[in-house]
Amino acid sequence: MVAPALYDVEVAHARRERIDYAFKHQVFLWLVDLDELPSLPRWLRPFARFEARDHLGDPSASIRQNVDAFLARQGIQCSRILMLANARSLGHVFNPLTVFWCYQGESLACVVAEVHNTYGERHCYLLFPDETGRARADKAFYVSPFLDLGGEYLMRFGEPGPRLSVTIVLCQGGNTPLTATMRGHRRPATPSALVGLLLRRPFSTHRVSALIRRHGIGLWLRRIPIVPRPQHEAQETVQ
């Protein structure tokens, strides 16, 4: 079992298609062992809840059961799963990216990158990083209304330790229209540490949703063409 932890994180995006546009934001994320979710004092629980309905699979099952079911369809079994995500806070959560590090014993077996868009859809990429944490995946999910569906992601997921390091680069037609990174420092998930982050980053998950929409409106006002959204079939419905 891995003790719950908090990461104080800088998220950066750089767009290099049709327009140069970059931004950075400060957030905080949880790292939790799906077999032992955090037990917080009652007065802090509204600020950090982990619910199956916010992730892949059956909302009546546990997050662990749903990740296991997703992996089982690929013939994979894991003994331990760590999740990096926003917690539901004051009734709201939005996770642009949730990362599941899946272990067999002490060895990393795979990574599941769960991506959400602002249309209420999600998609999971099953990845097998090399010894440096690098992996590739075809882009199969509509996220930004300003980017085509095709292309390939080049990703790097450093295993969670004292520092967090995640990089995602989108390659399309020989270009790299988008680069996204998460860099952070780990601290124990004590009540005092959580209160400190809540005071420094109030309404963090609400702010993530608002900022995504603000940046989208900014690109639209600059007349960046919108790409039509294709119909998405939820992975839960695919047998």
Q: Tell which residue, 31, 89, 40, 46, has the closest CA to residue 191.
A: 40
Element (H, E) at 171: strand 163-172
The CB density around residue 157, as the number of other CB atoms within 10 Å, is: 22
Domain boundaries, the chain: 5-13+26-131+185-224
Quickly tell me which residue has 């979710």 as its tokens.
Answer: 37
Length of the chain: 239
Burial annotation 61-74 (CB, 10 A radius, 16+ → b, else e): ebbbebbbebbeee
The structure's pTM equals 0.93
For tokens 């891995």, name the residue: 2
Smallest Cα–Cα separation from 175: which of 17, 14, 13?
A: 17
What's the token pair of residue 226?
A: 């919108």
Q: Rounded to whole angstroms, how far apart are CA atoms 57 and 74? A: 15
What is the distance between the alpha carbons of residues 174 and 158, in angstroms, rounded to a whole number?
Answer: 25
What is the residue-averaged pLDDT of the chain?
91
Question: pLDDT at position 105, please?
Answer: 92
> pLDDT digits over 37-59, tens only?
999 999 999 999 999 999 999 99
* CB burial readout 115-135, b (16+ within 10 A) else e: bbbeeebbbbbbbebeeebeb
Provide the pLDDT for residue 227.
86
Report residue 131: phi and psi, to 5°.
Answer: -65, -15
Q: What is the pLDDT of residues 66-124, one digit of tens each?
A: 999 999 999 999 999 999 999 999 999 999 999 999 999 999 999 999 999 989 999 99
CA of 151: how far to CAs of 3, 139, 163, 175, 177, in Å? 37, 5, 29, 10, 10
Encode pLDDT of 125-150 as tens digits.
999 999 999 999 999 999 988 788 88
CB-facing half-sphere around the CA of 57: CA atoms within 13 A:
18
CA distances 11 to 27, 41, 148, Å, are 7, 29, 22
